Amino acid sequence: MYKIVRKRTLNPTVVEMCVDAPRVARRAEPGQFVILRTDAHGERIPLTVADYDREAGTVTIIFQLVGATTMKLGAMEVGDEIHDFVGPLGRPTETAGLSRVAVVGGGVGCAIAYPVAKKLHGLGVTVHSVVGFRTRDLVILEDEFRSVSDVYKLMSDDGSVGEHGLVTDALRALIESGERYDEVIAIGPLPMMKFVSLLTKEYGIKTVVSMNPIMIDGTGMCGCCRLTVGGKMKFACVDGPDFDGHEVDFDEAMARAAMYRPFEAEAREHVCNLLKTGGAE
Amino acid sequence: MPNMQVKKTAMPTQSAEERARNFDEVTLGYTETDAINEATRCLHCKNRPCVSGCPVAIDIPDFIAEVAVGNFDGAYDVISKASSLPAVCGRVCPQETQCEAKCVRGIKGEPVGIGRLERFVADRHNEKKHEIKKPVPNGHSVAVVGSGPSGLTCAGELARMGYAVTVFEALHTAGGVLVYGIPEFRLPKSIVSLEIENLRALGVKIETNMVIGRVLTVDDLLADGFECVFIGTGVGLPKFMNIPGESCNGVFSANEFLTRVNLMGAYRDGADTPVMHAKHVAVVGGGNVAMDAARCALRLGADDVTIVYRRGEEELPARREEVEHAKEEGVAFRLLTNPVEIIGDEKRAVRAIRCVKMELGEPDASGRRRPVEVKGSEFELPVDCVIMALGTSPNPLIKSTTDGLDTERWGGIVADENGATSRPAVYAGGDAVTGAATVILAMGAGKSAARAIDEYIRNK
């Protein structure tokens, strides 16, 4: 059992939790993920490590309340215990040899992009962060990003905060203004990562994306998380989750991500009702 | 005078129509009368051919003799000298190619139902609660990686010798393939959990959620004070065919499909984990895993389930009984048929599987006749789900994180007959060494490794 030691609400649908998991904290690196189950009957869901404290033995996760499991998790409080919390899984984000990087985050993906930016900043790398949200109320980790970024560009779809536009608009503007990057690291919704990759391909800038497909075991056993990268089948859980954005078949990934959507909608409805009536454990 | 009944005493089973719609165990086991009757069919041959067919050399005629006189506890004692998971092996061992294949009664009629008797004896034993005495600790500790048949056996053997044993399991439930792979209707999970409870009673510690190679490495375990490490991590990596369309929604590895159903309990109403309830299913492959997947799909409500296998009936690697059960339940077989493409619709969901007919040519390296494509024989099978049951290979996680651990080109860990690897103090056994094999072979490997580990530690 893994105790929740801190919890804060980052925006109406995004929650940050700090979990007591010393063995996970010991080896965790940015880019890796954990698999958790809220209770003994729960499903296994992957969540990327948002932060870790090796001394305190804690791991931070940030998640959006989108499905039944994240809603159940969101309803848990400090002192409650998460039934299973496995990790660190997957390969860490490669940071060696970089000197100028643009980190692009979209929505809750910023939760994963932030530790990468923080690590790069700590290594003395010049970090330009380009983050985008639908609207002002959804902005997360602004102070955190600013503190590790040489340039911070905040974009919103509706113009209610930062600049009006998409992250690709800001990234293109930076590149057009003469900024040069060894690498772009893009983390966010699949369409965002797809369009960032298309943009950087025009300019020939290496781009790494963090894929977050449906998983069960997270150890290479089921093949549920398979993707096509450079025409070859890859398992995100063991070969990734980071991949070359210019090689990923995003359209296929988007179709696969939609596979259980009807089931998820039904399960979410069910959990909503349980939470409303106070019937959840 | 032995009972000269030509056929095995029938085992009660759920009717095919009934069981094809539930996940309860298919075969119901012998009654006392059935068991005694079957036991009296044994001729007690002097040269005991059946024992030579058993990978762990159970004294088969001796236990059968005890059953024949109604001494079921005595029979259990005989079996448990050689086997630590009889309730499991009595159900899932391929007896028809092992002990029963050697039975003299099989020459004119059916062999003695050794597997059925083993199961009866084990179930009978498990009906009662048995007090387990904790062995006297010998002050040494061993880590076991993986809680499948080889790991559980190795852990049990060592614990009985007095070792402090900790089993590290990557998933949230112990049992390995017995839990995630073999379905409830063939091996009830209560049997596996009883075996695990018995191990705990012996003092074995089981740590779940421990992916060795990620959370801790084999070297961490040795540095943390374990004197030996046994690796029984099985063959977890699924194979795909590398044909077009394999990424379509509705295509699953058998591992994924079975894990959702068995480990995550997705067949139950209200389960948190979803599984596709497909209407028209093709399962590619002819082994036990293919049969399990096909029969699960049927139980989830499929209208039709077809096994697609590139060789013929004779070559089906599955146990005869599983093939028969699958057929009785209504699984169709398209033999000498090989998929060449999976066809998706506009949403990339499976619409059909395109296959080609095969014929058998010359024998290949495995000794089986090689299937060759029949030109111009392509056809489409309309399905909404394809399950790939093509076999599995070892997970590279331990290999890639353990320096100096030699592996074969296909990924298996190199180990001698006692499980010793290229690294001192590191032993391995089961499918991780041999490639996909049987529960009983993995159990045997766990047992030999336990003896070798004991010797290694005592001679240190």
Q: What is the pLDDT of residue A130?
A: 97
Identify the helix (H) or strand (E) that includes residue B213.
Answer: none
**What ipTM is given for this predicted complex?**
0.91
Q: Per residue in A5-55, pLDDT tens? A: 999 999 989 999 999 999 999 999 999 999 999 999 999 999 999 999 999
Answer whether residue B82 shows pLDDT above 80.
Answer: yes
Contact A114, A140 (CB under 8 A): no
Substitution target in B211, B243, B392 with the highest count of A β-carbons within 10 Å is B211
Euclidean distance between CA atoms B364 and B368, whole angstroms: 6
Answer whether residue B206 shows pLDDT above 70.
Answer: yes
Q: What is the pLDDT of residue A277?
A: 63
Percentage of chain A beyond pLDDT 90 is 89
* Nearest CB to B209 within list A27, A69, A84: A84
Q: Minimal Cα distance from A261: which residue of B?
A: B274
Answer whether residue A281 shows pLDDT above 70.
Answer: no
Q: Minimal Cα distance from A252: which residue of B?
A: B247
Q: Which residue has the tokens 């041999």?
A: B434
- Region A190-218: mean pLDDT is 96
Query: 3-state class of B456 per DSSP?
Result: helix
Answer whether residue A279 shows pLDDT above 60.
Answer: no
Percentage of chain B beyond pLDDT 70 is 100
Q: Where are the domains of chain B?
A: 16-126, 141-236+394-458, 238-391
Domain B141-236+394-458 listed as CATH 3.40.50.300: no
The CA radius of gyration of chain A, in Å to the nearest whole number, is 18
The mean pLDDT of chain B is 94
Answer whether residue A175 shows pLDDT above 50.
Answer: yes
Residue B444 identity (one-letter amino acid): G
Q: Answer whether B255 touches A (CB < 8 Å).
A: yes
Question: Tokens standing for B154?
Answer: 């190795």
| Residue A173 CB neighbour total at 10 angstroms | 14
Which residues in chain A are contacts of B215 at CB distance < 8 A?
A: 23-24, 27, 86-88
Residues spanned by CATH 3.40.50.80 within chain A?
100-210
CB–CB contact A252 B237 (8 Å): no
Question: What secondary structure letter does DSSP report for B261?
Answer: I
Shared fold status for B16-126 and B238-391: no
Q: Per residue in B448-458, pLDDT tens? A: 999 999 999 99
Task: Classify domain B238-391 at the CATH topology level.
Answer: FAD/NAD(P)-binding domain (3.50.50)
Q: What is the DSSP string of B284-348?
A: E--SHHHHHHHHHHHHTT-SEEEEE-SS-GGG--S-HHHHHHHHHHT-EEE-SEEEEEEEE-TTS
The mean pLDDT of chain A is 93
Q: What is the pLDDT of residue B292?
A: 97
CATH architecture of A100-210: 3-Layer(aba) Sandwich (3.40)
Q: Answer whether B253 touches A (CB < 8 Å).
A: yes
Which residues in chain B are contacts of A217 at CB distance < 8 A?
A: 170-171, 259
Query: 3-state class of A48 per DSSP?
Result: strand
Residue A277 identity (one-letter amino acid): T
Contact B263, B171 (CB under 8 A): yes
Distance (Å) from the alpha carbon of A155 to chain B's nearest alpha carbon: 32
Q: Work out whether the CA dihedral B48, B191, B122, B417 comes out positive or negative.
A: positive
Q: Per residue in B274-288, pLDDT tens? A: 999 999 999 999 999
Question: What secondary structure letter does DSSP report for B21?
Answer: T
* Nearest CB to A223 within list B216, B253, B272: B253
Q: Answer whether B211 touches A (CB < 8 Å).
A: yes
Answer whether residue B366 shows pLDDT above 90.
Answer: no
Give the pairing type, strands B350-363 and B332-334: unpaired
Q: Minimal Cα distance from B254: which residue of A?
A: A222
CATH architecture of B16-126: Orthogonal Bundle (1.10)
Q: Per residue in B248-261, pLDDT tens? A: 999 999 999 999 99
Q: Per residue in B372-414, pLDDT tens? A: 999 999 999 999 999 999 999 998 899 999 999 999 999 999 9
Q: Per residue in A109-161, pLDDT tens? A: 999 899 999 999 999 999 999 999 999 999 999 999 999 999 999 999 999 99
Q: Per residue in B27-60, pLDDT tens? A: 999 999 999 999 999 999 999 999 999 988 999 9
Answer whether residue B176 shows pLDDT above 70.
Answer: yes
Q: Answer whether B173 touches A (CB < 8 Å).
A: no
Angle, CA of A37, A41 and A47, to the nearest 5°: 15
Answer whether residue B131 shows pLDDT above 90.
Answer: no
Q: What is the pLDDT of residue A278?
A: 52
Contacts of A36 (CB under 8 A, 6+ apart): A2, A44, A45, A47, A61, A73, A82, A83, A84, A85, A86
Residue A280's pLDDT band, with cuts at 50, 70 and 90, is: very low
Q: What number of C-beta contacts closer than 8 Å exist between A and B?
A: 106
Euclidean distance between CA atoms B344 and B339, whole angstroms: 14
Task: Classify domain A2-89 at the CATH topology level.
Answer: Elongation Factor Tu (Ef-tu); domain 3 (2.40.30)
